[in-house]
Structure 1
Amino acid sequence: MDQQVTDGRIRRGDQTRRVVLSKAVDVASVDGLDGLSIGRLAGELDISKSGLIAHFGTKEELQLATIRAARAIFVTTVVAPALETPPGSKRLRLLLEGWLAYSSDRRFPGGCFFARASHEYAARPGPIRDALAVIDEEWVRLIAETVAEAQEAGEIDPTVDPAQLAFDLSAFLDAANLRSLLGDDSVYDRAYRSMRDRIAAVSLS
């Protein structure tokens, strides 16, 4: 009986945590990580502050948990579908197209969660910036590795620097996300054409 009670509490606790983080990622994508507070989320979700404190402890712990939740959503939405395709140029295109869809479809109301959070914390040393820097590095490195795989497959010029190409392509993505938030949705088409042309210029087929 005690085990059943304990298991039930754990399940309820996990469900509460998922609900809170689902709300937190949406709030942070619009108002920034500083816009998160245990009091605000408790009020909007009609959950006691003491209950949220029991789950997250401090605002910083809540922010870090929100970053991890956003990363999981990004991986599921953008990365995992592309990785179902064999290594090569097609996988590269799917990664980039998936990112454009993730931003333009407003998977997060404020566009790319990580662009918003990174602009907010880039000049503020500490655990939040460190967590965001790791995720940014993961993404750019994944693009570079995918470029390198396309080179090994004979699809991209082997003299191209994968890191430089990854930097260029991610810059197109970031520019599209920012300008879309300023009201210009045509930037997604522009970014797509820019990436297509950049890849075509180094492709062997």
Structure 2
Amino acid sequence: MSKGRVTKEHILSTAFDLASVNGLESLTIGALAKECGMSKSGLFAHFNSKDNLQVCVLEYANLTFTQRVIAPARAQTDISIEKKLTALMDNWLNWNHSFQGSCMFLDAWKDTPATPSETQVALKKTISTWINYLQIQIEKGVETKEFHQDLQPSQAVFELYGLYLSAHLFYSIRGEEASYQHFWCGVRRLLSQWKA
């Protein structure tokens, strides 16, 4: 790996850590340069703009999310769809809680202006990809008759995502334990309703 690539990986890792604590919108070239021990001009040469920096951090976060949330569940090949979804939900909630009940993908969200920024476009794509992945898993459960044939996968994933958003909120208000308990109570209830 080239020195430039190693430097950029270090910058993105540091930026990811900063954005995980303070939110993506707070990430600036100046603050990141200081944290990395670089000059603003040196760091700017890697990204050229704040938007490009944020998009690169989102891409890095997406890879990290895939490694932490999706890959471990995907590696379990001989399990039911229900168990795979349960593993995905567990990894997903742990992702949230690892950032003290925060989530970069949620915290970076804001009202989309008439002309969305590059960061907003990248963020929407990232979240859509995850929603689609969850929906595909539910569709497989319907196809294999693990879930009943009347189940609407789009509604099912909507309800799952709603539980995650509630867990995110409850972590901030009532703490990790309440967030965890309510989330799993809701997930178990949904999975029970979906079964044939």
Q: TM-score, normalised by structure 1?
A: 0.86
Q: Mapping of 1:154-165 within 5 angstroms? A: 154-165=145-156
Partner deviation per Cα, 1:156-202 (whole Å, 9 max, x = no partner):
01110001000100110121122213352111121011011111112
Provide closer, same or farther for how the CA distance between residues 18 and 183 of structure 1 changes in structure 2, counting only shifts above 3 A. farther
Gaps of 5+ in 2: none
Partner deviation per Cα, 1:12-71 (whole Å, 9 max, x = no partner):
211111111112122223322221111111112211222211111111110110110110
Amino acid at match of 1:154: K
Amino acid at match of 2:181: D
Alignment length, in residue pairs? 191
Given that 1:26 and 1:109 are in contact with CA atoms closer than 8 Å, whether structure 2 keeps it comes out as no
Q: Identity rate of aligned residues, in percent? A: 30
Provide the C-alpha distance between the structure 1 equivalents of 2:101 and 2:89, rounded to a whole number of angstroms: 19
Provide closer, same or farther for how the CA distance between residues 22 and 181 of structure 1 changes in structure 2, counting only shifts above 3 A. farther
Query: Is the radius of gyration larger for structure 1 or structure 2?
Result: 1
Partner deviation per Cα, 1:93-122 (whole Å, 9 max, x = no partner):
111111011112x1x45621111112xx34
Given that 2:51 and 2:117 are in contact with CA atoms closer than 8 Å, whether structure 1 keeps it comes out as no
Provide the C-alpha distance between the structure 2 equivalents of 1:126 and 1:61, rounded to a whole number of angstroms: 10
Partner in structure 2 of residue 69 of structure 1: 60
Provide the C-alpha distance between the structure 1 equivalents of 2:21 and 2:112, rounded to a whole number of angstroms: 19
Partner in structure 1 of residue 185 of structure 2: 193
One of 168, 182, 186 as aligned partner of 1:177: 168
SS at 2:108 equivalent:
helix
SS at 1:103 equivalent:
helix
Q: TM-score, normalised by structure 2?
A: 0.90
Q: CA RMSD in A?
A: 1.7
Amino acid at match of 1:95: L
